[in-house]
Amino acid sequence: MANVLFIKTSSLGDVIHHMPAVAEARRRRPDACLAWVVEEAFAPLVRLHPAVDEVLPVASRRWRHAPFVAATWAEARAFVRSVRSRAYDEVIDTQGLLRTALIARIARGRRHGYDRRSIREPLACPFYDVRHRVSRAWHAVARNRALTGEALGYVPDGEVDFGLDPRTLAAPPAAPYGILLHATARRSKEWPEERWIALGHRLAVRGIELQLPWGNEAERLRGQRIAAAIPGARIVDRQPLDAVARRIAGAQVVIGVDTGLLHLAAALVVPLVGIFVGSEPGLTGPIGRGPIAIVGGNGARPTPDDVLTALDRVGTGLTRQ
């Protein structure tokens, strides 16, 4: 039985974009033991993936804030021991960063990564035993699948399958609800609050409750302002990612900016509308088997009417009023 270690630590969107590669690896190598190194905040979500046999959480984000604390060094040593506790046949770093290449170097096994023309941080290349050329013009999902296929000896084929089954995650809701993903890590990707409010008013008359999740204090305050201005809207309690996944899986529709949770909705085959204002959807936009509509693009400013027209295209059953 082959042992394979994947390294894709963050961010949330990157982690989700790696799931089709893992699902395909399981289909092509059904007897392999698949392990995954991922940031601790995303580990609850990765544990939901049926193809993953072992999750190795790493806390590099947290460690950076306390590099000289004894507990940090103790945790780091424990992580190194966990990575080195097993010999792997193949170690595959689809992140392509210096910090993830260092994790690959710690692991025992043949290390695969992108070559200098394909990688985000060329300084990572010397840490790999085998370097693969994968076009940087491809979508992130295609790049992950291609590198994984090269490392494991097959050519990726078939439609994108994230490997998550929404039917196992969410019970039928008591009443229909939609989710507004207003928060994103980059201000350049944000959609103005007044447009969220205008859209929310138009959706409220369609008879659907609107829920607004958040991840930090600034996002909570922003969500509160938006929800307070929309009849029947509410912010929801902060939850770990496995619980957030279950909430998204039960939604009738998700509308959001370019953020990790939008990609999670695509992975869970939830009808969605993506609002792009500061990034290119052709490279990192949501893809999947469910109904997806995209408005805007890098430098665009979509209107609420643009979003409503897209919403009608994805066939959620919500009719215009």
Residues 189-211 have pLDDT tens digits of 999 999 999 999 999 988 889 99
pLDDT in tens, 160-189: 999 998 888 877 787 899 999 999 988 999
Say if residue 204 is in the same domain as residue 137: no
Q: How many CB atoms lie within 10 A of CB 2?
A: 13
Last residue of some domain: 152, 179, 204?
Answer: 152
Asked if residue 317 has pLDDT above 70, the reply is no
> What pLDDT was estimated at residue 321?
47
Asked if residue 106 has pLDDT above 90, the reply is yes
Say if residue 10 is in the same domain as residue 80: yes
Is the Cβ–Cβ distance between 106 and 93 less than 8 Å?
A: no
Q: Which residues span the domain enclosing 35?
A: 3-152
Distances (CA, A) of 302 to 96, 259, 277, 309: 33, 16, 7, 11
Asked if residue 225 has pLDDT above 80, the reply is yes
What's the whole-number mean pLDDT along residues 307-318? 84
The number of distinct structural domains making up the chain is 2
User: Is residue 269 in a domain?
Assistant: yes
What is the SS3 assignment for 146?
helix
What's the whole-number mean pLDDT along residues 202-228? 94
Measured CA angle at 112 (ends 185, 107), to 5 deg: 85
Say if residue 242 is in the same domain as residue 143: no
Distance CA 308, CA 317 (A): 13
Could you give phi then psi for residue 64, rounded to 5 degrees? -60, -25
> What pLDDT was estimated at residue 157?
96
Q: How far apart are the first and last CA of the chain?
A: 58
Say if residue 137 is in the same domain as residue 179: no
Distance CA 45, CA 38 (A): 10
Percent pLDDT > 90 in the chain is 90
> What pLDDT was estimated at residue 173?
80
Picking from 236-245, 276-285, 312-321, which range would have the lowest pLDDT averaged per residue?
312-321
Distance CA 101, CA 95 (A): 8
Say if residue 148 is in the same domain as residue 172: no
What CATH number is attached to the domain comprising 187? 3.40.50.2000
